[in-house]
Amino acid sequence: MDVKKVGIGPSSALDLRVSVATLTKVLIPWQIGDVLLALEHKATVIPENGDRAVLLRAQPFGGAVRLLDPGKLEQAVARFHFDSERSRSESDLRLFINQGDWVKLRDFCLEEFKEGRRSALETDPTRELQEEFQDTLGFEILAEQYQIKPLGTFVEDQPQPTANLYAAGALTARVYFTFEAMIIDPDLEQVMVENSDSHSPQVLRRLALADRRQGGRGRANAVLALRLGEVQRAFKDSSSTDLRKAVEHRGFTLDGNVRVILH
C-alpha cells in the first residue's frame, strides 16, 4: 500500500477522526521524597484578527504513533484518510475513518500495544522523546540517562471536537499508549530544572513571537518541571475528567491530557 496515494481529510463516508499517540510521564527524583513531573511547555503563535495571539500549554512528552505497515491497517479498516498532508508525509496515525470502523481500529491498536505485537505501529516512545528533548533542550536524551517502562493504554471512546490546528473542530476519538520515564542522570536533572526555571510563560511568549518575526513557525518549547503531588492535587480539585479541559496551576496552563498520565 502506497501511503502517498491515501486521501486527506474527511468525506461523507469517513466522518470520524482518530488520533493514536504515546504519552510519557517523565519524572525527576529531585530531592528525597520530592519527585518532579516534567512536561513539555509549548508556545505557538496563532494569527488572529490581524494580531499575534500566542497559545501557551504544557503537556506530556509524546506524540502521534507512526504507521509502519499500512497494509496491516488496511486489513483492519478498509478505508481511511490522513487528517492532513503533514500526517500523511510523516505516516502519523491521525486518520479519518468511518464511525462504524472505530471498534475495529481501536482493537487493532490495543493488540499492537501488547508485547510482541508491535509490527504495524511504532509504539515505542523513544523517537518522540529524543525529538522533543531536542526541541526543548537542544540535545537528544541518551538511553543511559533514563529508565522507561510501559504503563498501559487509555481509550477515549466518546468522540470530542479537537483543537488540533490541522483538523480544528473535527470529532475525534483517541487511543493513548502510556509510559513512565525516570531520569537517572543528575546532570540532566539539573539542566531540566534550570531550563524550567528560566522559561516563564512570558519568556516563552517572547521567544515564539521572535521566531515568527524571523520567518519561523512562531514556536518556542521548554521544560516545565512541577512537583508531581501538586499537579495530581490540581487535577483532582478540578473535578473534571474531560481531556479537553485545561487546568490552571501556579500561572501555567496544563493541557487536559495530563490527566492520562497521572494515574
Query: Tell me: the pLDDT tens digits for 230-255?
Result: 999 999 998 888 888 999 999 999 99
pTM to 2 decimal places = 0.91
Q: What is the pLDDT of residue 129?
A: 92
Q: What is the pLDDT of residue 116?
A: 57
CA distances from 249 to 77, 95, 111, 164, 195 (A): 41, 33, 36, 23, 18
- What CA–CA distance (Å, rounded) separates 241 from 136? 28
Q: Which residues of 92-126 are buried (b: 16+ CB within 10 A; e: fewer)?
A: bbbbbbbeebbeebbebbeebbeeeeeebbbbbbb
- What CA–CA distance (Å, rounded) separates 246 from 244? 6
Q: What is the pLDDT of residue 164?
A: 67
Determine the residue type at 48: E
Q: What is the pLDDT of residue 51?
A: 57
Q: What is the pLDDT of residue 252?
A: 97
Low-confidence ranges of the chain (pLDDT < 70): 1, 48-51, 115-118, 164-167
